[in-house]
Amino acid sequence: MTRPTQAFINWSHFRHNYQLAKQKAAGRVYAVIKANGYGHGIVACARALGDADGFAVACVDEALLLREAGIKRPVLVLQGAYDANEWQLASTHDLQLVVHHAQQLEQRAQALLENPVAIWLKVNSGMNRLGVRAEEAESLLAHIAADEQLQLQHVMTHFADADLAQPEALSAALETMQSCDWPVSLSVSNSAATLTQLAADIETSDSVSRPGIMLYGSSPLANQSAAELGLKTVMSLRSQVIHTHDVKAGEKVGYGGNWTAEKDSRIAVVAIGYGDGYPRQAPCGTPMMINGHRCSLVGRVSMDMITVDISEFDDIQMGDTVELWGEQIDVDEIAALCHTIAYELFCQLTPRVKRVAVEG
């Protein structure tokens, strides 16, 4: 029998979310499917969006997985090439590279390129992670223009505060991008900026948006839920009740005994734990849905199991399906309780959680 802990992936909802991004964007939309498609499966994501304008991944290794799977759409490598060999791989496999540091162009000089490589120059507009400062970009633009094997496609940036958490910093970032006379169109919008059309004044029909988390049905905005934004749930994480038993008032449950029954209670054991990627930091009271009942986690999350208080629901029994997040339990609610974000919950699901494709 197959272990009941599975992630059901609704690809029609994934496509719906991509189309919503298309409706909101000024120009083209590259779907961000890095980190194994945020845990949903990188190749499966690309195949589900077979007519996407393009895809964005973190590194050349991820891009090559797509090419090896027969994906021919444009692929952008967000961290660019790490060395001369990766420049050559990008040339061979028609990968688009981000340049965020002058040293990357020095590495390119050591590579023999059989085909031209499309370049996106990344500008630091306040994230202070990757990217050259706007005043330093001119020399890199000249370097790229002088190289016949490099083709500048876009100038890009990544907002640190696109969810409007710090509007002053965001305004400064927008002004940075708007104040320069860039020779090509801009790519600035992530999920939050795409949904709010934050950069509408500086984006054109030639711009490229790069939505990520919204495609997977999670809200990138602190003050609006996924449903309010018109997003549809893509992943439903489910398992099964594998045991039920009674505990007496005063008895403890789980490692460390951090939950004590205040009254005689009934406990369900569910086949999921941090070995599957369910967050170990999930506190007592974290909700899940069983037979239409909203039940609460009690005790610590173990490697392979969790325990749930089902005292109020007589109809719950062994074999019943449990939804940890999905259509009935908002993943963003679980993330908030665990003091993290949906990105991490999706990405940390381990390989032993089978991904099951669902349509409609």
Number of domains in the chain: 2
Whether 166 and 36 share a structural domain? yes
Label residue 158 by pLDDT band (50, 70, 90).
Answer: confident
pLDDT band at residue 337 using 50, 70 and 90 as cut-offs = very high
Q: Are residues 263 and 186 in the same domain?
A: no
Identity at 300, one-letter amino acid code: R
- Active-site position among 18, 24, 30, 34: 34
Say if residue 279 is in the same domain as residue 181.
Answer: no
Q: Same domain, yes or no, for 139 and 283?
A: no
Q: Is the pLDDT of residue 189 over 80?
A: yes
Q: Are residues 128 and 184 in the same domain?
A: yes
The region of weakest confidence among 8-17, 192-201, 247-256, 333-342 is: 192-201
pLDDT score of 360 = 64
pLDDT tier at 124, thresholds 50, 70, 90? confident
Per-residue pLDDT at 162 exceeds 70: no
Is residue 125 domain-shared with residue 189, that is, in the same domain?
yes
The answer to whether position 100 is within a domain reads yes
Q: What is residue 174's predicted lDDT score, i.e. its pLDDT?
A: 78
Residues 168 and 242 in one domain: no
Instruction: Specify whether 72 is catalytic.
Output: no
Q: How confident is the model at residue 177 (pLDDT cuts 50, 70, 90)?
A: confident
Residue 229 lies inside a defined structural domain of this protein: no
Shared domain check, 291 and 147: no
**Are 202 and 80 in the same domain?**
yes
Tokens matching residue 253: 């449950």
Tell me: do 204 and 161 sit in the same domain.
yes
For the domain that residue 304 is a member of, what is the CATH number? 2.40.37.10
Q: What is the CATH number of the domain that holds 74?
A: 3.20.20.10
Whether residue 15 lies inside any domain: the answer is no
Is 275 found in the same domain as 202? no
Mean per-residue pLDDT for 69-75? 98
What pLDDT score does 166 carry? 52
Share the mean pLDDT of the chain: 94
pTM: 0.94
Residue 169 pLDDT exceeds 80: no
pLDDT of residue 272: 98
Q: Which domain holds residue 166?
A: 26-210
Place of tokens 């074999």: 319
Whether 127 shows a pLDDT value over 60: the answer reads: yes
Active site residue 34: yes
**Are both 284 and 247 inside the same structural domain?**
yes
Does residue 165 surpass a pLDDT of 60?
Answer: no
